[in-house]
Every structure is written in C-alpha cells, then in structure tokens.
Structure 1
C-alpha cells in the first residue's frame, strides 16, 4: 500500500470507478464510471521528475478520451435512432459499441497505443494498466459480446499480434505488453463462453501479472540482457521471475495453464476446435519468448559487473510479497486440482 495519502485516495477512486462501471444499469452510468477511473489513473501515472511518465500519461489520456467520447456518441446515437430498449435488435449495434471498449482494453488491432504507454510507466503503474484497467471495459463488453465473425477476428488478431509482436522485443515492459494483448484475446473468448469463465481467467492472470512485475522490480532489470547481470546473491529473485514468466506463458505444471485449459475445453465443447488450435499455437510462441529470457539463467550463465553492489539488495517486505505470489503461481494448479478431486 502506498504511504502517500494522495496515492491512496487516487487508488480508492480508481477502484470505485471500476465498480461504478461494472454495477451500473445504464450506459451513461458505465461511461461515468470509466471517466472516474481515467481521471484517477492519470495523476498516478504522471510524475514531474520523469519526462517519460508524463509523456505516457498524455498518450494514455488522449487515447482514452477518444474511446470514451466515441462510446458516449455511439450510445446516444443508438438511443436517438432506435428505441432505448431494443439495442440488441440491430446486428451491428454490439460491434459498434464494443469498438471503443476494445480500444480502452488494448485489444488488437486497436493496440497501437499500448506498448508506447507501458514503456514510459513505473512497474506499479504497468501492473495496474495490465490488470485493473482492463476489468471495466471487458465487463461492459460481456453484455454485448457474442460469437460471430467480428468477435472471432478480434480474438484471433489479439492472440497473433500478442505472439508475433513480442518476438523481437528486448524491453521487459514491451514483452509484458504483448503478452497482455495475447491474454486479452483469451479473455475475450472466455467472455463469449460465460462471465464465470472470464472472471476465473482474469483473477489468475492478474495474480500472475502482479507476480511477474514484483519479481522483475526486485531484480532491477528493464531489458532482457540485464537479467543475466543481476546480483549473484539474488538467485531466489531470478528463480521467482523466470518461473512466474513461464506460468504467465501457460506451461502445464504452473497455475497459468489452468485457466487456459478450462477455456480450451469450453471452446471444444462449443465446436470451436480450429480456433482453439490457433490460440494454442500463438500461446506457444509467447512461451518461446519467455524461454528466450530465462534460458541463459537456467543454464547458470552469470556475469556480474563490479558496479553491481548493494543497489539491488531489496527490502525484506518486497521479497516476502514476491515470494508469496510466486509460490501461488508455482503450486496453485496442484492445489486447485486437489480441491476439485476432494469435492
């Protein structure tokens, strides 16, 4: 929890904005919730001492305002041209209203702002942008989304862009960005199957994203080539970071595989086996670039520069938090399987 009272207030209003959006029974109320959420997140992002933070917050503000204005315009136009309670009668209405929400959540092909914004943020804000900020738009989409050509093409583009885009990246933030785009595709297909499935996927993904971010922050690495040069004493931090990354990629023994397994099963039951195959292939590509990061350290290659002194020695509380989260990531699937077999 941040010690700064302003940050605590902003985080509270940010969460209340999400809750207003999710619990609203009108599109105007949902839009208001999204705006409260946006106005709380911008001050958290911007920092007068860091030019990159300010640039990222400006980019994010412009994109989100464009999406919010489009959403409000579309909803007002639809209520003027049609009866208020017959929005679902027109086949194009869900597509039109979902588009600004897809822009807000950073799904492909409306993901162009996402890598640039993530690159300029602190790790805490990166975690918020990948998890909390996706909750409200995805929940609003669940009211409209259905399995059709538009939805399936968005899902396929998100998974492919997330997989291919991360291959040539060296920045850890950009790799996590493209991973998030790939997971957004999985969450969208989970939404079409039911809200419970999406909730399960989103909770697991949020836990794993927080685990990865806390472990990377402890290691002090911002780029792939810095992962080999972390402090020799920080072996546990390295282990946490790489196992968490593999879990986020969906490697079977870890918790990250569980929601994907459930989604794949649901897709096969809904006669979407070809789509499931394509999504699994793209998921394997994301796993490849996670392995690319962790391969050198798994092979016990280690070089430590002389200037790598006590600067990376982390606080005990941060270590405990990251260790707890990574233990959930490592053992979560086994625990869930045991509980399922007992009941």
Structure 2
C-alpha cells in the first residue's frame, strides 16, 4: 500500500479516537467511532487475501450493527430527555442498549464471537491495532457513562468475559486466536472494576496495551502464527524466546512481572467492596488464562529437539524490522511491578 495512503488512514484512526475522547455529544462520539471503523477497514483488507477480506467483512458488519445501536439508543434518550449530552443518559432502556453496543465493539462476552475469527484473518501488525487502539474510544465512552449503567450488568459482563476469555483459549492452536481470547479476558477485568475504581480500569488498560504490544511484536519478529511454530524459535533466537515466554507469563498475571499489578489491585478493590465471591471467581478465571499461556511457554522452551538445526546461523534472526518498540514494550511488560506505589500515586 502507498505510504501516503497508510499515513492518511493512520491519521484518520487518531482523529476518530480523539474526536470520541473530546466529545460530550452523542452524535460527535458516534461520528468518531465511525471514522475509526472506516479508517481501519482498508488496513485490514490491504493484503487482498480471501481470509483477510472475510475478516474485514465480519468486522465491518459487526461495527456497523454496534454503531446503529448507539445511534438508536442516543436518539431514544434524546426523545425521552430532550438532550444529546452523554451525562444525561437517564433512560434505562437507552443506557442498556448503549452498553450492549459498546460491549459488541470491544468484544466483551457474550458479544465476543466475531473477535477471534476477525483477528485470525489479519496480519500481526493490524491485529495489534485491532487489539489495542480500537478499544480506546469505546472504553472511553463506557467510562464516561459508567454511573448510568446497571452495576449488575457491568459485573455480569466482566465475569462472563473473564470466564469465556480463559475457557475459550484452552483448545486453540492459532496464536492470534489465543491473543483474541486473552483480550476478551482482560476486557472483563477492566469492566468489572469500572463502577468502583475507574482509575484501576485505566491502569489495567495501559498495562494491557504494553503487554499485548510486546506479545504481538515478538510474534512478528519471529514470524510465528501457530503453536507448533513456537517450538522452532529457541534455536533461532534464545534471548527473544526467553523474553517471549516471560511476556506471556506477564499477560497471565504471574508475579513478579508487570501483569500481576492490575490483577492484584483489582482483586484488592473487589474485596474492599465486599465482593469476595466475585473476586474469587475472577482469580480462578485468571488460572484458566494462565494455563494456556503456560502451554505456549511449554511449546517454546520445553519441546526443543536435542539436535541442532541445519540452518547456517541458528542463533541469529536476520531481520530488518525495527526492534525499538519491541524493546520498550517488553521492558515495561517485565519490570514495572516495583513501580506500583508510584503508579498508584499518579492514577489516584
């Protein structure tokens, strides 16, 4: 694709998200979401592969449905209250429709069925944008109207997403589908604490973005899309494989890695709110996710053939890819747990 076209599309992505962030009017927020969707569709279909075209079509239909629901809900609310302001979302029907549409946009269970299939049809860089940047605008809207949403509905969405995100990734062999179910589980953790501590939702979102960026960029560097491909990576690059295993364990929330920080703080907040049973279910659901991350680590580090490979330089990956974003995201994904008190001071 022409670099000028890519620059225009990426600028439109930024414009759509910024417009949604800055809006307090439902029509402006809807317009930002639409700009976002229309900007990423050409990026998804740029390889002209049948699988990519299929994924693009599924994504477009899903996002168009969610956008129509948002427009219908905001119009209904304006009809009842006479205002288009987001803070005046007083109609329970309209607020339920909006949260359902936004949950469909970010892939919360049980509206998650499109996400693994769409992510599987994309290349890793576009999948990275889909898993991180495309979730910012809908999550900003959910955070803005969190107080108008039924707390039971938010808790149900969070619990369902965490359980399905952990359960669905157990039998996957495609790495992009594993990361899709990982995304669904992480969204559940963010949504369930939203009504009690929105700053923890933002902290979990920032941590998730760095962890997922590190995971996608390492897979891009090693050109791995299936689990059986991971077994070959140790011979090519032991250091990259070691950091990949640590990044996956950090995604699973294993201490002393960075991914433990948001899960620990969210469980602590849920316990403070006398939701011990909910916190217990969330912790058990995290074990499901940790299992399939451990499965990937096992494939990378414990299934190596005793024979050396026949390649000329088995210890080096010859690549022209820029590794600076990978280094930054991996460093943050692995070593920021000791910074927890300072980060808490910033977000609270």
SS in 2 for 1:193: coil
**CA offset at residue 210 of structure 1?**
0.3
Give every structure 1 segment of 4 or more consecutive aligned residues whose post-TM-superposition deviation is greater than 6 Å.
307-310, 338-341
* 2:130 paired with 1:129: yes
Give the one of 322, 336, 340 matched to 1:318.
Answer: 322
Q: 1:88 to 1:328 in 2, by over 3 A?
A: closer
Alignment partner, residue 71 of structure 1: 70
Decide whether the 8 Å contact of 1:159 with 1:181 is kept in 2. Answer: yes
> What CA distance in whole angstroms lies between the structure 1 residues aligned with 2:204 and 2:161?
16
Decide whether the 8 Å contact of 1:18 with 1:33 is kept in 2. Answer: yes
Q: 1:112 to 1:175 in 2, by over 3 A?
A: same
> What CA distance in whole angstroms lies between the structure 2 residues aligned with 1:83 and 1:28?
14
- 1:166-245 correspondence to structure 2 within 5 Å: 166-230=169-233, 232-245=235-248
Decide whether the 8 Å contact of 1:220 with 1:230 is kept in 2. Answer: no
Gaps of 5+ in 1: none
> What CA distance in whole angstroms lies between the structure 1 residues aligned with 2:124 and 2:12?
20
**CA offset at residue 323 of structure 1?**
3.0
**CA offset at residue 325 of structure 1?**
2.1
**CA offset at residue 336 of structure 1?**
3.6
Q: Structure 1 length as normaliser, TM-score?
A: 0.91
Decide whether the 8 Å contact of 1:214 with 1:322 is kept in 2. Answer: yes
Q: How many residue pairs align between the two structures?
A: 340
RMSD: 2.5
Q: Which moved more, 1:195-204 or 1:86-95?
A: 86-95
Gaps of 5+ in 2: none
Decide whether the 8 Å contact of 2:231 with 2:301 is kept in 1. Answer: no
Alignment partner, residue 52 of structure 1: 51
User: For 1:62-93, what per-residue CA distance to the aligned partner results, in whole angstroms no more than 9, with x for missing partners?
Assistant: 11011101110121122123432695443343
* 2:330 paired with 1:333: no
> What CA distance in whole angstroms lies between the structure 1 residues aligned with 2:144 and 2:243?
38
User: For 1:26-50, what per-residue CA distance to the aligned partner results, in whole angstroms no more than 9, with x for missing partners?
Assistant: 1111000001111111111112542
Q: Structure 2 length as normaliser, TM-score?
A: 0.90
Q: 1:314 to 1:271 in 2, by over 3 A?
A: farther
Alignment partner, residue 91 of structure 2: 90
Q: 1:308 to 1:212 in 2, by over 3 A?
A: farther
